[in-house]
Chain A
Amino acid sequence: MNIASFAPLAVILPLLGAALTFLLIRNSRAQRTVSIVLLSLTLLLECLLLASVWEGGTAAVNIGGWLPPWGIVLVVDQFSSLMLVVSSSVSLAVLIYATGQGMADGDQDAPVSIFHPTYLILVAGVSNAFLSGDLFNLYVGFEILLTASYVLMTLGGTGPRIRAGVTYLVVSVVSSVLFLIAIAMIYGATGTINMADLAVKLADLDQGTQNLLHVMLLVAFGIKAAVFPLSFWLPDSYPTAPAPVTAVFAGLLTKVGVYAMVRTETLLFPGDTFNAPLMVAALLTMLVGILGALAQSDIKRLLSFTLVSHIGYMVFGLAMSSVAGLGAAVFYVAHHITIQTSLFLVTGLIERRGGSSSVDRVAGLAKLSPLLAVLFFVPAMNLAGIPPLSGFLGKVGLLQAGIQLGTPLAYALVIGGVLTSLLTLLAMARVWNRAFWRKPEDAEHPDPVLLAHPADSATGDRAGKTNVTLLPRTMVGSTLGLVIFGVGLTVFAGPLFKVADQAAVEMLDRTSYIHAVLGEGARVPAISEPEPGPDPARLPPASGQERK
């Protein structure tokens, strides 16, 4: 029995958990236990899935015994299983953080009790999107996670959250409608929505139709992934949600969009038809995003802008459609999910300890809580790409690939990438200087909790509420775990980069994927080159091997 045939459990277990926690809605302790246990089981299963494809290869599971291309198929390959493991680790950490927050605040009211079922549905949707080998099932995966995210974003129904929720809801629905239109047109043109089958059949269409379908999909996924001109909604809607919700959204939702873009570019429409526009979009995403971040004073908003900005790196890696570029992009996605989520979790802690998430109003945290300072400093430097950390390794991989490609546009992106990295460092240093190094007395309108005497601030009273622990152990512990996981990505960057490069080779080759789904005899169409002739960037580069 192959372990890959248990892949559907990655979707079913969280859904089961959602049903159980919904039944246990009056018993918050049981809810917590059920969701943590089921999410841990899911993570364990996904680790086994990753181990089964670690050496390469692709496995496909036909749901309900319907053979592809008619039935729904789930596909496990290196990229999807790597994404599953990283996303589930992150969601588990956020879940523990959220339960810690719920316990610390002693909230027993309705919004918190629906948090668990909704959160597990979100995880199921993310898993479904990563595993799906069928375009419509991908759409359903997106809808599952989006519907759950609407609820999570407006949790509590306060004014600012409703306002942010409306923007988010309308933009998401419009992008889903665009995706659905693209699916309908693809089905009309080819008569199939199985992705492996599409890889074979789309190549037979004429170039104009292909380009139309390609652009429709890229725009739909571009909205979800927040690629610049389509990223306007993200910094507007993410920051108002509760801290753990923002953290999981920032880590996972945009990356699902990036994942779908990678599949579109490699499996459905290989070749470099839209590489130049994608590169321009990547450059603008990086620069506009980070310039927006520099203008913000609220840490959550600032991080939302850096999130947009760093999506640009992934699109850059994808747009090169070379093994080195795609491999670095895969590594960068894994790195960025972890780091961005930990930064948002730390911001939640800063908000608790400092009474505000605005850098103008918090100060002196380095002295008040040195552990919090370390928790912020490590991922912040990682995000900016300071040498030993994984952010640096991912960026170096991307820059190397860009220089290998050697076109003027690629050089522009290399320069833009370095500039964005420096500006990220500036943004992070501003937060650090103000929130951590300044004296608490220098803050504007500081929260009483910030100025409280250190002796009673550890577990002391918080203004307005009574007996709220400022930094509960569960919340700090889960954040610490995630930060250590991020450092672990640095320590094990060698094997990870090897897997990422292998995944890139397989995705660009497509044979393994198509054969796994459609059987060994399936035809794999050659990638159509607009200009015939060997393209050095497409060949597996030597440096990709050296990096191991």
Chain B
Amino acid sequence: MSVNLTLLTVMGALYACGIYLILERSLTRVLLGLMLLANATNLLILTTGGYAGLAPLFHKDTDPGQYNDPLPQALILTSIVISFAVTAFMLGIIYRTWVLARQDEIQDDAEDRRVAKTPSFDAEDDSVVPVETSEFPLTMIGTDGQSVSDVPAGAEATVTVADRTLDADAAASEEQPGSRNVTIPSKEGGGQ
């Protein structure tokens, strides 16, 4: 099989330009690059069919050296149709990008950027759960409605606060804001 050097050179040039163009950020150039790649491939298929210039006509008496292989030409037709459809669609996409973003460039993925900026520390997964360190834990109420603190029931647990002596239970509830046992501070900021 003889090789057509012109076709090969053209094919190489088309591939080189096509690869250069699809690496651009501008969509129109990317489209041109894809078209060049598709056409370079069509030329490649054509060269597999034998020397260009012979007719792909077969007759029983034809010498194999006298006709061109018709199959690559059928393949090229199919691939031209496919690349035509893709080009048309890509033009539609480019127009749509222009309408939406007023620029002919590939946009960044916003979610990708966001994930990349997310710190590796995740408040929900990684933060240390605060351990109860209070010396006087609030009384816990069991399912039966009784207190389940380790102070035995009936023990007269009292706490001395300032000048008063209170029940431990009442003192615990007093520590919470909004408790009715707590005296609201006067406007001067003093206590009682």
CA–CA, A529 and B5, complex, Å: 38
Check B115–A295 contact: CB distance below 8 A.
Answer: yes
B48 closest partner in A (C-beta): A188
B interface, size bucket = 35 or more
| Partner-contacting stretch, out of B34-42, B130-138, B151-159, B169-177 | B34-42
Interface presence of B32 (CB below 8 A) = no
Q: Do B106 and A167 touch (CB < 8 A)?
A: yes
Contact A187 B111 (CB under 8 A): no
Residue A351 CB within 8 A of the other chain: no
Question: A136, B34: Cβ atoms under 8 Å?
Answer: no
Interchain CA distance A434-B122 in the complex, whole Å = 13
**What's the minimum C-beta distance from A108 to chain B, rounded to whole angstroms?**
22
| Shortest Cβ distance from A143 into B: residue | B82
Interface check A236, CB cutoff 8 A: yes
The chain B residue sitting closest to A154, CB to CB, is B93
A177 interface residue (CB < 8 Å to B)? yes
Complex alpha-carbon distance, A291 and B17, angstroms: 37
Q: Which residues of chain A come closer than 8 Å to B179, judged between CB atoms?
A: none
Shortest Cβ distance from residue A368 to the other chain B in the assembled complex, whole angstroms: 20
CB contacts (< 8 Å) of B41 on chain A: these are: 177, 180-181, 184
Of all chain B residues, the one with the shortest Cβ separation from A160 is B110
Report if A162-B72 is in contact (Cβ < 8 Å); known contacts: A177-B37, A187-B45, A434-B124.
Answer: no
Report the minimal beta-carbon distance from A360 to chain B, rounded to whole angstroms: 8
- The answer to whether B107 and A169 have CB atoms under 8 Å apart is no
Residue from B38, B86, B109, B124 within 8 A of A163 (CB atoms): B109
User: Nearest-CB distance from B77 to chain A (Å)?
Assistant: 12
Question: How far is B107's CA from A160's CA once the two chains are assembled, in angstroms?
Answer: 9
CB contact list, B1-56 vs A, under 8 A: 22, 27, 30, 34, 37-38, 41, 44-45, 47-48
Minimum CB distance partner of B35 in chain A? A173
Nearest-neighbor residue (CB-CB) of B108 within chain A: A163
> What is the chain A residue whose CB lies nearest that of B116?
A295
The residue in chain A whose Cβ has the minimal distance to the Cβ of B107 is A163
List residues 206-265 of chain A with CB under 8 A from any CB of chain B: 236, 239
A296 to B106, CA, bound (A): 23
Q: Are A166 and B82 in contact (CB under 8 A)?
A: no
Across the interface, B79 reaches (CB within 8 A) one of A180, A301, A430, namely: A180
The yes or no answer to B78 lying at the interface (CB within 8 A) is yes
Q: Would you list which residues of chain B between 72 and 117 have a CB under 8 Å from chain A?
A: 72, 75, 78-79, 82, 85-86, 89-90, 93, 96-97, 100-101, 106-107, 109-112, 115
Residue from B34, B47, B96 within 8 A of A162 (CB atoms): B96
Which residues of chain A from 364 to 420 have a CB within 8 Å of any chain B CB? Answer: none
- Chain A positions 161 through 198: 1 when the CB is less than 8 Å from some CB of chain B, otherwise 0: 01111110110011011001101110110000100000
* Contact with A159, one of B82, B101, B115 (Cβ below 8 angstroms): B101
When C-beta atoms are compared, the residue in chain B nearest to A167 turns out to be B106
Q: Is the C-beta of B163 less than 8 angstroms from some C-beta in chain A?
A: no
Asked if A170 and B115 make an inter-chain contact with CB atoms under 8 angstroms apart, the answer reads: no
Taking CB atoms, residues of chain B closer than 8 Å to A170 are 22, 30, 34
CA A151 to CA B82, docked complex, whole Å: 14
Indicate which residue in A140, A147, A193, A296 contacts B115 across the interface (CB closer than 8 Å). A296
Q: A residues within 8 A CB of B192?
A: none
Q: A166-B107, A180-B41 are in contact. List 10 more A-B contacts (CB 8 A).
A: A136-B75, A143-B82, A147-B82, A157-B100, A166-B27, A169-B86, A173-B37, A187-B48, A187-B72, A430-B125
Assess A184 versus B38: contact at CB under 8 Å? Given A159-B101, A162-B100. no
Cα of A296 to Cα of B122 in the assembled complex, Å: 12
Verify A165–B93 contact, CB threshold 8 A. yes
Say if the beta carbon of A105 comes within 8 Å of chain B. no
A163 to chain B: which residues have CB within 8 Å? 97, 106-107, 109
- Which A residue sits closest to B46, measured CB to CB? A184
- B40 CB, min distance to chain A CBs, angstroms: 9
The answer to whether A181 and B89 touch across the interface, beta carbons within 8 angstroms, is: no
The 4 closest A-B pairs by CB, nearest first: A188-B48, A163-B107, A184-B45, A184-B44
Distance in angstroms between the alpha carbons of A239 and B110 in the assembled complex: 12
Q: Do B97 and A166 have beta carbons less than 8 Å apart?
A: yes
Could you say which residues of chain A place their CB within 8 Å of the CB of B90?
169
| B183 beta carbon closer than 8 Å to chain A | no
User: Given the interface contacts A180-B41, A188-B47, does A162 sit within 8 Å of B97 by beta carbon?
Assistant: yes
Write the chain B residue with the least CB distance to A235: B112
Residues of A with C-beta under 8 A to B62: none
